[in-house]
Amino acid sequence: MIAHGWRVLLLLLLLGFAPGGQAAPGGSVWLLSIDDAIGPASADYLLRGLQQAQAQGAQLLVIRLDTPGGLDSAMRQINKAILASPVPVATYVAPSGARAASAGTYILYASHIAAMAPGTNLGAATPVQIGMPGSPEKAADNNQDTLARKQVNDAAAYIRGLAQLRGRNADWAEKAVREAVSLSASEALRLKVIDQVASDLPQLLRQLDGQSLVAAGQTVQLNTVGATVVEHLPDWRTRLLAVITNPSVALILIMIGVYGLLFEFINPGTGVGGVVGGICLLLALYALQLLPVSHAGVALILLGLAFMVAEAFLPSFGVVGFGGIVAFIAGAVILMDTDAPGFGIPLALITSLAVLSALLLGGVLGMAIKARRRALVSGDAGLVGSLVTVTFVQADNPFHGSVQAQGEQWQAQCATPLQPGQHVRVTARNGVMLEVSATAPTASGE
With CA atoms as reference, report the closest residue to 32 among 53, 12, 10, 13: 53
User: Which secondary-structure segment (H or E) carries 438?
Assistant: strand 433-438
Walk along the chain (446 residues) and give the pLDDT tens digit of each residue: 444 444 444 444 443 333 333 434 458 999 999 998 898 999 999 999 999 999 999 999 999 999 998 888 899 999 999 999 999 999 999 999 999 998 999 999 999 999 999 999 998 888 764 443 444 444 444 444 677 788 888 999 999 999 999 999 999 999 999 988 999 999 999 999 999 999 999 999 999 999 999 998 899 999 999 899 999 988 888 888 888 888 889 889 988 888 888 777 777 667 787 888 889 989 988 888 888 888 888 888 888 888 877 776 676 666 777 788 888 888 888 887 776 777 778 888 888 888 887 777 667 666 666 665 555 555 566 677 788 888 888 878 877 888 888 778 888 888 888 888 888 888 888 877 888 888 755 444 44
CB-based contacts of 238, cutoff 8 Å, min separation 6 = 41, 44, 45
pLDDT of residue 168: 94
Domains and CATH numbers, the chain: 20-237 (3.90.226.10), 245-373 (no CATH), 379-438 (2.40.50.140)
Q: Kindly report each contact of residues 169-177 with a partner whose C-beta sits within 8 Å and lies 24 or more positions away, as own/partner.
A: 169/193, 173/105, 173/109, 173/125, 176/105, 176/122, 176/123, 176/124, 176/125, 176/126, 177/125, 177/126, 177/127, 177/136, 177/152
With CA atoms as reference, report the closest residue to 224 among 336, 118, 90: 90
Whole-number Å distance between alpha carbons of 427 and 435 = 5
In the beta sheet, which residues pair with residue 409?
Answer: 404
pLDDT of residue 133: 40
In the beta sheet, which residues pair with residue 438?
Answer: 424
Is 44:237 a contact under the CB 8 Å cutoff?
Answer: yes
Sign of CA dihedral 274, 280, 284, 285: positive
The pairing of strands 229-231 and 196-197 is unpaired
Q: Provide the residue type at 16 as one letter.
A: G
pLDDT of residue 402: 87
Is 178:171 a contact under the CB 8 Å cutoff?
Answer: no
Q: Provide the residue type at 354 as one letter.
A: A
pTM for the whole structure: 0.69
pLDDT of residue 105: 94
Whole-number Å distance between alpha carbons of 220 and 20 = 9
pLDDT of residue 445: 42
Whole-number Å distance between alpha carbons of 312 and 309 = 6
Whole-number Å distance between alpha carbons of 42 and 245 = 11
With CA atoms as reference, report the closest residue to 154 among 127, 188, 172, 182: 127
Question: If you compute the radius of gyration of the chain from its CA atoms, what whole number of angstroms results?
Answer: 37
Whole-number Å distance between alpha carbons of 441 and 419 = 14
pLDDT of residue 434: 84
Whole-number Å distance between alpha carbons of 301 and 283 = 16
Whole-number Å distance between alpha carbons of 225 and 204 = 10
With CA atoms as reference, report the closest residue to 94 among 68, 122, 116, 113: 116
pLDDT of residue 442: 45
CB-based contacts of 355, cutoff 8 Å, min separation 6 = none
User: Which secondary-structure segment (H or E) carries 230?
Assistant: strand 229-231
Whole-number Å distance between alpha carbons of 256 and 278 = 9
Q: Starting at the edge strand that comes first in sequence, how are the strands of the sheet with 29-34 ordered?
A: 196-197, 113-116, 89-93, 60-65, 29-34, 229-231
Q: What are phi and psi of 67, to 5 degrees?
A: -145, 145
